[in-house]
């Protein structure tokens, strides 16, 4: 493409040069060997001219001294022939050669051809540079990208933690490799496969792995690439994309974030004339327009299957749904093994321990965790990433970067230490909570302190007692402040704890039936709220029922506060010891360190353990917190901050 553009520029340049030379050609009387017309008349009068030949406005001839001449005759000289006859000069007149019709046509069209060539070159240049003319040229064209099997090939070996999903799509690989085996038995492979799962779980990676295993082209596009402001553009792109897929069959067409165009019809503004709905209609028509013998598989991905149009999910279209969930602890360990493959990892790194401490992490989160650990190791001039680097990377991903430049006063640091110690004591002493893994008063993100748990296994269901234990742990920080400093001296550090506890208690009442009201669901579903149905429909609860719900929530919250207060009063000495240890060491990692700190024992660490930036000893001048900064706020993006 670049060579063709350069050749085109060269041709245009040569044409312009020729035209410029043609327009600026010198006059005949200024050319070498041409005499002025006045000099010719003088020679004619003295009889020096012997013969002459006139062709157009150019006269050539011979002189008596044997030399020749050439001059340009004015077009209005009517007495030239008489002068030549009087001087007995032999002369002849030759008609100038008339240009051919093709030549005349070429000379007439040459300026327009130059303008057209310049316009085409300008448009192509604008298309490469992303200008408005380029966007107009490619406005209705398909934005799908075609990747062949040898371009960044991905196989099932690169996909870990979703073994069930890989098994469900494995037969598609076999079909693309040998379609005749299935066609001989009359079996029909689904036209469309819908990958459902949270963001970052590997839906796109799985689709590329299917294409890589089958060695077929991979046509990828995002759902938002279909829809434009003008009506009809999305439908045109859909038609062009399916035509491109049929030409490259067998192949896989992957539509990422299909909910951007496949949302439930009638839920938005514009009705049936909405551009998004017209694009969806064209997708439905195109999926009905080809059969499985064309060996084109449509794979789509979404994390919102509840808002997709039912016509998109019916048999014959996306009739197979493959769930790509968040990985469990075994899956996370396998994903970590894939990402550390070929990386310099120290022997003290235990992927199983890292997998246990990364609950609710997706594959993308784990990839980011490994990368952050390698960055920590590089900044510390290490040749391998050690356990401390992974620990710091996990803290940074879950809680944010340590804010060591933040100036915190001794008073605020003491409040934060007792606040986090209260969380840890309740988490350790109330049955039903996960083991506490780390307590720190180092500011990270928006929080001045953190208390993290390390689940022994993944939980998919929670009992009522476990939820009540979590609620008690959430209020452990506030109750510790009330016990030590008094109710009138409590800080705003428990704002996030109160918000999360109230939300959890309300869900226990309205969704899970953990109250005296019984197992009745009182809240509208996310699907109804998203589609706007819950707004327009009549409210399903009376004021009395809403009041009973509020009373039940208040009862659960008060019971959790009482449990937290009783536990802290019972273990008051452990609370003081743990807070003093936090003031001295700032971070306590592992159940052994926390238990030893609660017993008042001295914590001895090796030099390598002090390298971890999360557990450096407290030092330096007193620091002051900025005005209005809450202490001990738990991170909102950490689902395990309270066990």
What are the beta bridge partners of residue 256?
A: 222
Cβ(221)–Cβ(233) below 8 Å: no
Write down the catalytic residue from 213, 333, 420, 586.
Answer: 420
Give just the sign of the alpha carbon dihedral 442, 446, 447, 452: negative
Omega of the bond prior to 209 within 30 degrees of 0, cis?
Answer: no
CA atoms within 13 A on the CB side of 526: 4
Q: Distance between CA atoms of 328 and 250, rounded to whole angstroms? A: 34
Q: Which of 432, 420, 477 is nearest to 456 (CA)?
A: 432
Residue given tokens 């986090």 in the structure block: 420
Cβ(343)–Cβ(337) below 8 Å: no
- The first and second tokens of residue 472, run together, are 């008690």
Cα distances (angstroms) measured from residue 261 to each of 86, 224, 237, 315, 543 = 95, 7, 13, 19, 39
Q: Are strands 296-302 and 251-256 parallel, antiparallel or unpaired?
A: parallel
Decide if 420 is catalytic: yes
Q: Distance between CA atoms of 368 and 371, rounded to whole angstroms? A: 5
Helix axis angle for 275-288 and 233-247, nearest 10°, is 30
Cα distances (angstroms) measured from residue 339 to each of 326, 344, 353, 380 = 17, 11, 16, 21
Q: How many CB atoms lie within 10 A of CB 565?
A: 20
User: What's the burial of 217, exposed, middle or buried (CB within 10 Å: 0-12/13-18/19+)?
Assistant: buried
Helices marked H in 24-100: 37-45, 80-86
Q: How far is CA 98 from the centre of its chain?
A: 67
Q: Which of 23, 39, 25 is nearest to 72 (CA)?
A: 39
Residue given tokens 């060269």 in the structure block: 10
Residue given tokens 């017309």 in the structure block: 37
Residue given tokens 């992974």 in the structure block: 390
User: What's the burial of 272, exposed, middle or buried (CB within 10 Å: 0-12/13-18/19+)?
Assistant: exposed
Residues assigned a catalytic role: 420
């Amino acid at each position: 493409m670049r060579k063709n553009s350069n050749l085109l520029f060269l041709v245009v340049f040569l044409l312009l040069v020729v035209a410029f030379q043609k327009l600026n050609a010198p006059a005949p009387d200024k050319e070498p060997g041409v005499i002025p017309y006045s000099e010719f008349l003088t020679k004619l009068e003295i009889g020096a001219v012997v013969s002459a030949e006139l062709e157009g406005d150019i006269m050539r001839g011979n002189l008596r001294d044997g030399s020749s001449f050439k001059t340009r005759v004015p077009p209005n000289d009517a007495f030239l022939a008489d002068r030549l006859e009087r001087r007995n000069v032999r002369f002849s007149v030759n008609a100038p050669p008339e240009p051919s019709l093709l030549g005349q046509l070429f000379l007439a069209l040459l300026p327009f051809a130059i303008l057209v060539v310049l316009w085409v070159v300008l448009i192509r240049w604008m298309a490469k540079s992303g200008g408005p003319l380029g966007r107009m040229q490619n406005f209705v064209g398909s934005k799908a990208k075609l990747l062949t099997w040898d371009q960044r090939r991905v196989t099932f070996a690169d996909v870990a933690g979703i073994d069930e999903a890989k098994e469900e799509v494995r037969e598609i690989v076999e079909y693309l490799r040998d379609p005749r085996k299935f066609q001989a038995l009359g079996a029909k492979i689904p036209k469309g496969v819908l990958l459902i799962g949270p963001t970052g779980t590997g839906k796109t990676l799985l689709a590329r792995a299917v294409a890589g295993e089958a060695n077929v082209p991979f046509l990828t596009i995002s759902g938002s690439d279909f829809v434009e402001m003008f009506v009809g553009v999305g439908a045109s792109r859909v038609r062009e994309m399916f035509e491109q897929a049929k030409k490259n069959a067998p192949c896989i067409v992957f539509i990422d974030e299909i909910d951007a165009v496949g949302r439930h019809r009638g839920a938005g503004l514009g009705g049936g004339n909405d551009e998004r709905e017209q694009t969806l209609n064209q997708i439905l028509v195109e999926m009905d327009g080809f059969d499985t013998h064309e060996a084109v598989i449509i794979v789509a991905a979404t994390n919102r299957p509840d808002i997709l149009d039912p016509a998109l999910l019916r048999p014959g279209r996306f009739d197979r749904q493959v769930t790509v969930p968040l990985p469990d602890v075994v899956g996370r360990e396998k994903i970590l093994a894939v990402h550390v493959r070929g990386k310099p990892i120290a022997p003290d790194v235990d992927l199983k321990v890292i997998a246990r401490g990364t609950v609710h992490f997706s594959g993308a989160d784990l990839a980011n965790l490994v990368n952050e650990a390698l960055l920590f190791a590089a900044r510390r001039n290490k040749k391998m990433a050690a356990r401390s680097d992974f620990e710091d990377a996990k803290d940074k991903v879950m809680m944010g970067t340590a804010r060591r430049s933040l100036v915190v006063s001794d008073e605020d640091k003491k409040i934060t230490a007792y606040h986090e110690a209260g969380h840890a004591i309740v988490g350790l002493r109330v049955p039903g909570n996960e083991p506490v893994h780390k307590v720190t008063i180092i500011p990270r993100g928006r929080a001045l302190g953190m208390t993290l748990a390390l689940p022994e296994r993944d939980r998919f269901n929670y009992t009522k007692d476990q939820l009540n234990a979590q609620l008690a742990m959430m209020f452990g920080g506030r109750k510790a402040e009330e016990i030590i400093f008094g109710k009138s001296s409590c800080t705003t550090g428990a704002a996030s704890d109160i918000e999360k506890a109230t939300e959890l208690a309300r869900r226990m009442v309205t969704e899970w039936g953990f109250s005296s009201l019984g197992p009745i669901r009182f809240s509208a579903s996310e699907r109804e709220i998203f589609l706007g149905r819950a707004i327009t429909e009549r409210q399903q609860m009376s004021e009395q029922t809403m009041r009973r719900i509020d009373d039940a929530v208040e009862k659960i919250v008060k019971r959790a506060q009482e449990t937290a207060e009783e536990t802290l009063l019972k273990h008051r000495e452990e609370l003081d010891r743990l807070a003093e240890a936090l003031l001295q060491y700032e971070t306590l990692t592992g159940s052994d360190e926390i238990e030893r700190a609660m017993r008042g024992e001295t914590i001895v660490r090796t030099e390598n353990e002090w390298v971890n930036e999360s557990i450096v000893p407290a030092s330096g001048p007193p620091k002051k917190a900025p005005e209005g900064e809450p202490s001990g706020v738990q991170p909102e993006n950490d689902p395990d901050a309270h066990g």
